[in-house]
A and B are shown apart, each in its own frame.
Chain A
Amino acid sequence: MKLKGRAWVTGDDIDTDQIYHGQYLPVTDPHEMAKHAMEYVPGMENFPREARSGDVVVAGKNFGTGSSREHAVLCLQYLGISCVVAKSFSRIFFRNAVNLGFPVIECPEISDTMKTGDIVEVHVDSGKIIDLTTGESFQGIPASGLEKEIAGSGGLIEYLKKNA
């Protein structure tokens, strides 16, 4: 699977309250949830209005630390973000993404040179990420084994239905 979109570059330790703040937890309508994606990340207040379908979030280390809330994945998914590339993920965000079939790629060397607005191409299966604006490319760690099977089935529920 090859994805292409504009990059939204952000720093280290972006926690789940920054991605989807606790005050919106009672919200269940997907359109409403999408309106608050990444709202509390410093400098990304316009993200929910300006992000376009297919855009890619490129983050530093420990992305998604904090709460077990799946909303942090859902709000990005509902907004049409195609995947998140991060130097590293917090385990709960990574797990929720796998369970929802949302592509996440760990790439320890990324994001120091990439800038918001660069056009990036993400090869989900090989883990290769190319910054088409600068011509640089990075090798990420693609999903493998059980995680790949679950994400590839369209998420955990579909996987279990097939493998009951």
Chain B
Amino acid sequence: MTIIEKILSTGSGKAVKPNDRVWAGIDLAVIRDFGGPNVVIEYEKTFGERPVWDPSRVALTFDYQAPAKVSDVANNQRICREFAKKQGIQKLFDVNAGIGQHVLLEHGLIRPGSIVVGTDSHMNLLGAAGCFATGVGTTDMVATWYAGRLWFKVPETIKVNFKGKYSFPTTAKDLTLYFISRIGPDKPNYKSLEFYGDVINGFQLHDAITLASMITEINGKIGFVPTNHQISEFLKSRMGEASEPVLADADATYSESIEIDIHDLPPQVACPHAPGNVRPVSQVKGTHIDFAFVGSCTNGRYEDLSEAAAVLKAGGRVHPSVQLTIVPATIEVARKCLKAGHYETFLEAGAIVTNPGCSLCTTGHHGVLGKGDVLISTSNRNFLGKLGKGSQVYLASPATVAASAVKGEIADPGEFLR
């Protein structure tokens, strides 16, 4: 069996195969300040004061607009807080905590093999920790609170083997963008992916998160980085106990096996308006930019911000015509950056540094784009008009974004680090 087949077999209590429809128990159901308020309203409309199936398996994470900047969102956050209080839900991570999935990982609430649903389409980045997590809508979450279980179609699995190695300033983000452009937006539709190869074996959790977070953009159900020693150690340190990794059987059946050569891969950039519209940085360098963003659930961890800091330290100040915004994924990431001296580097360089959260990604916080504005971002989406009508978004690694912020145009981070 593949990883997803094993997890859904355990969750549903019977052996499963691709395309089966199964009902599986939910280990953790997470709402955020986006999507969550609708869940509370619908749940109470349908079930009134009825207790949720298991308050200890419900979590609330506020990262959409942290803190709220319009009263609609403030009201929505209030609806969620009051619901948690009424229902006796303890796991509430408020607007000071950071991006939900990352907060859950840091608090030891994510266990390999568990099934997690949330009102965020990037829940599946938890595939980096060997957990089957998926974004769901309001109705799915209301159903989970009521019954503690949900229906799933067991996906087929694509096996991806990366051949070769690269070195910094090429990073997991460059691998991810390259992979997305190679596989195309249709092939993984409703499929699970498993990643293998020397580079994957060497992945730290933040690398794995970057890769798993962008499976949403190619319509995959989830992407798994098989739990290696480093990831296992992180999870153990947070959960307080070791957990058994869920690994595919040697004779698992895959719908397809794909081999991708990443030997000496140079830094990559996704051009407007599709995450898969990817070119090597050498082909787009010199493109004018107005805004730069380092952060998001894809690239907001300590290691990501450290890579940006290294480039800024070498490159000096942010170009006077560019706004660079840096947003740590969580308060823990912020504290680590403070300790490492990165805040000084960021502020000296002229960057705007904000509190943790989803920030620019959610359209409307810490900077919206105007007509004609061009942004280079470490986030995961560059859809037409997502961050403002008439704007353009490029996607790249933290190192490439920092280098571009310094030059005022898309730049190769290697220029500053050689």
Contact = CB atoms under 8 A, between A and B. Distances in A.
B21 A28 contact: no
Interface in B123-153: 123, 135-140, 142-143, 146-147, 151
Interface stretch (A50-58, A94-102, A119-127, A128-136): A94-102
Given A26-B70, A62-B219, A145-B21, A73 B137 contact: yes
A69 B146 contact: no
Interface in A54-109: 61-62, 65-70, 73, 88, 90-92, 95-96, 99-100
B362 interface: yes
Contact of B142 (A25, A91, A146, A157): A157
A28 to B, nearest CB: 7
B151 A146 contact: yes
Interface string A1-29: 00000000000010101100111011110
B81 interface: no
B137 A25 contact: no
Contacts of B143: 99, 156-157, 160
A150 interface: yes
Contacts of B146: 157, 160
A51 B264 CA distance: 52
Interface residues of A, number: 39
Contact of B121 (A25, A68, A150, A164): A68
B381 A164 contact: no
A64 to B, nearest CB: 10
Given A23-B364, A28-B38, A40-B385, A70 B137 contact: yes
A65 B41 CA distance: 25
Given A28-B38, A92-B121, A157 B383 contact: no
Interface bin, chain B:
35 or more
Contacts of A164: 147
B254 interface: no
Interface stretch (B184-192, B227-235, B285-293): B184-192
A69 B35 contact: yes
B139 A15 contact: no
A62 B185 contact: yes
A18 B137 contact: no
A104 B373 CA distance: 37
A140 interface: no
A18 B136 contact: no
A100 B139 contact: yes
A61 to B, nearest CB: 7
Given A17-B386, A62-B219, A164-B147, A67 B121 contact: yes
Interface in A141-164: 145-147, 150, 155-157, 160, 164
B41 A95 contact: no
A91 B385 contact: no
Contacts of A145: 21
A28 B219 contact: no
B296 interface: no
B367 to A, nearest CB: 14
A54 to B, nearest CB: 23
B37 interface: yes
A28 B37 contact: yes
B276 to A, nearest CB: 10
A68 B119 contact: yes
Nearest to B22: A146
B185 A91 contact: no
12 contacts: A18-B383, A18-B384, A21-B363, A21-B385, A62-B185, A67-B121, A68-B35, A69-B34, A70-B137, A92-B136, A99-B143, A156-B139
Interface of B: 21, 34-35, 37-38, 41, 46, 64, 70, 72-73, 76, 119-121, 123, 135-140, 142-143, 146-147, 151, 185-186, 189-190, 216, 219, 221, 274, 362-364, 381, 383-386, 389
Interface of A: 13, 15, 17-18, 21-23, 25-28, 40, 42, 61-62, 65-70, 73, 88, 90-92, 95-96, 99-100, 145-147, 150, 155-157, 160, 164
Given A91-B190, A91-B219, 6 more contacts: A17-B383, A17-B385, A22-B363, A27-B72, A69-B121, A150-B151
For the complex of A and B, 4 pairs with smallest distance between CB atoms? A70-B137, A68-B135, A26-B72, A99-B139
